[in-house]
A = this chain, B = another copy of it.
């Protein structure tokens, strides 16, 4: 009961393999009668070209790979990826492409890359000189980077993390907050330093804080899950050094912070202001609704996919300007409480 091959169809229809192949890919090169006969026989036999054989022969698999630096269960816990895929998906479907999710296999992204039969890669959060990207380059597979550093070798799609972060910090400072904490995104892979995204956001926060002459904020690193946000809250200083405002680099972690605060009897926003980052669809529904920095995630995916598709056609594309971010003020931020005002401390 093995698979029906092109040779089976050919002999059943009394023609050559070539004719069968033409029937599907080059019908105008066949006579009307033969064409119909071949197609008929192929259909009766339930013939489908073997995708791998086709890919090998045509040097094209009809698939693009999404390079994910962490495990799938980790990264899909954050709706961010779902949003991104919505954007990628639109373009993929438009161009008859399927999307392969490529997480590290056996701890190694490079190994996973080698195994992936794709026409192009979209990399998420990897710096251009990551080993994995170098492997990609060696292979000559077109690649587009999302949330990375500027690179001469690759087109890169970014948002204006810095301005967004700066706006978030400024917002808190204008509400009178001085004692701030920052919840930083963790490195994509254990041995690395901050992700490019985290670095830019951190810079944005700090610009505003320094400009306002506020004290150096307390830094905590936390994953992108609600649970990680909870842990981050618990590691914040308490007592009189407790921050009155927290800048969180991810909405999911921000939700964790809010939950943990509520559980600890600290009211948001009365006792603690929280600002997220992303503006995920859940942001308006949290309790209280989350003040956050909006970034156009779906658009990011769409743009990256369209650029990759251009590259796959052999055209060269330039990195676009970073997409703009905007602060969305909801109810998780408020003026600092009177008792927390710096003036009280004098």
Query: A101-118: which residues lie under 8 A (CB-CB) from chain B?
Result: 101-106, 112, 114-117
- In the assembly, what is the distance between CA of A88 and CA of B62, in Å? 23
Q: Cβ of A106 and Cβ of B96 under 8 Å apart?
A: yes
A45: min CB distance to chain B, Å: 9
Q: Cβ of B49 and Cβ of A114 under 8 Å apart?
A: yes
Which residues of chain B have C-beta atoms less than 8 A from A85's C-beta?
Answer: 72, 76, 101
- In the assembly, what is the distance between CA of A63 and CA of B100, in Å? 9
Which residues of chain B have C-beta atoms less than 8 A from A90's C-beta?
Answer: 71-73
- In the assembly, what is the distance between CA of A65 and CA of B270, in Å? 49
- In the assembly, what is the distance between CA of A344 and CA of B163, in Å? 59
- In the assembly, what is the distance between CA of A48 and CA of B82, in Å? 31
Which residues of chain B have C-beta atoms less than 8 A from A139's C-beta?
Answer: 3, 46, 48
A36: min CB distance to chain B, Å: 20
Size band of the A side of the interface? 35 or more
Query: A276-293: which residues lie under 8 A (CB-CB) from chain B?
Result: 281-282, 285-287
Which residues of chain B have C-beta atoms less than 8 A from A102's C-beta?
Answer: 98
A221: min CB distance to chain B, Å: 22
Which residues of chain B have C-beta atoms less than 8 A from A100's C-beta?
Answer: 63, 98-101
For this chain, the copies found in one complex come to: 2
- A13-21, A53-61, A204-212: which one contacts chain B? A53-61
Q: Cβ of B103 and Cβ of A89 under 8 Å apart?
A: yes
Q: Is residue A150 contacting chain B, with contact meaning CB distance below 8 A?
A: no
Q: Is residue A322 contacting chain B, with contact meaning CB distance below 8 A?
A: no
Query: A62-91: which residues lie under 8 A (CB-CB) from chain B?
Result: 62-63, 71-73, 76-77, 79, 81-83, 85-90
Given A72-B86, A105-B98, A255-B285, answer yes or no on A62-B115 (Cβ-Cβ < 8 Å).
Answer: yes
Which residues of chain B have C-beta atoms less than 8 A from A50's C-beta?
Answer: 56, 117
Which residues of chain B have C-beta atoms less than 8 A from A99's C-beta?
Answer: 72, 100-101
- In the assembly, what is the distance between CA of A115 and CA of B48, in Å? 9
Q: Cβ of B72 and Cβ of A93 under 8 Å apart?
A: yes
- In the assembly, what is the distance between CA of A99 and CA of B106, in Å? 15
Q: Is residue A32 contacting chain B, with contact meaning CB distance below 8 A?
A: no
- In the assembly, what is the distance between CA of A140 and CA of B2, in Å? 8
Which residues of chain B have C-beta atoms less than 8 A from A83's C-beta?
Answer: 76
Which residues of chain B have C-beta atoms less than 8 A from A56's C-beta?
Answer: 50, 52-53, 56
- In the assembly, what is the distance between CA of A79 and CA of B78, in Å? 9
- In the assembly, what is the distance between CA of A292 and CA of B3, in Å? 46
